Structure 1
Amino acid sequence: MIERLQTSARMSKFVKHNGTVYLCGQVGEGASVAEQTAECLSRIDALLEQAGSSRKQMLQAIVWLADMSDFDEMNAVWDAWVPEGHAPARACGEARLARQDLKVEIIVTAALD
């Protein structure tokens, strides 16, 4: 069974299927990549909790940066957020994001409890 939650005509905030939750890309507000990353990760926490999962259950994360020169700043926030021993498989690349003011977008897949 596939369960889509917080669904609009364009997308679902998350989809649950076969013991896995797939989050849509999350972004955050703020002037710096650190601020945007922190808010983005807070949104991920909220969606994972709503879905019945947590950051300890993450399987994969895909990080998009508007500028790879922000890699270290984003990682400082990311590294403090990921629970020790529970780092997901992760990819990070540079991409043009949906709005010019966005610096980071993160997509997470996690196991359900």
Structure 2
Amino acid sequence: MSKTILVVDDSASLRQVVNMTLTASGYQVIEAGDGQAALALLDGRQVHMTICDVNMPNMNGIEFVKAAKTLPNYKFMPILMLTTESQEEKKEQGKAAGAKAWMVKPFAPTQLLNAVSKLCP
């Protein structure tokens, strides 16, 4: 059974690159353009992992992580922050919110797949 990964980013082109990378490796991908849209997709369906940007309109990545972690079905879902932010302060905020890993854009597809396979075995 393939794993479902939610990709949350306000950049459609980035979502497309991540989607192609993941689907080529056998993952199912669902996408959202911001944290609010992503939360709406956490409706009880099985989502094994989320890859999320930090800077987005409506609801940013840190707010999304905090909100997702309050949902009983998704409390233990691993979340990888994929962002241009590399400051320690932002990383700490992400970690405090419940993010499991942090990857800085631009990224290599193999780097992303390695992180996904570790977080979502």
TM over 0.5: no
* TM-score (norm: length of structure 2): 0.36
Q: Which has the higher contact order (CA 8 A, sep 6+)?
A: 1
Structure number having the greater helix percentage = 2
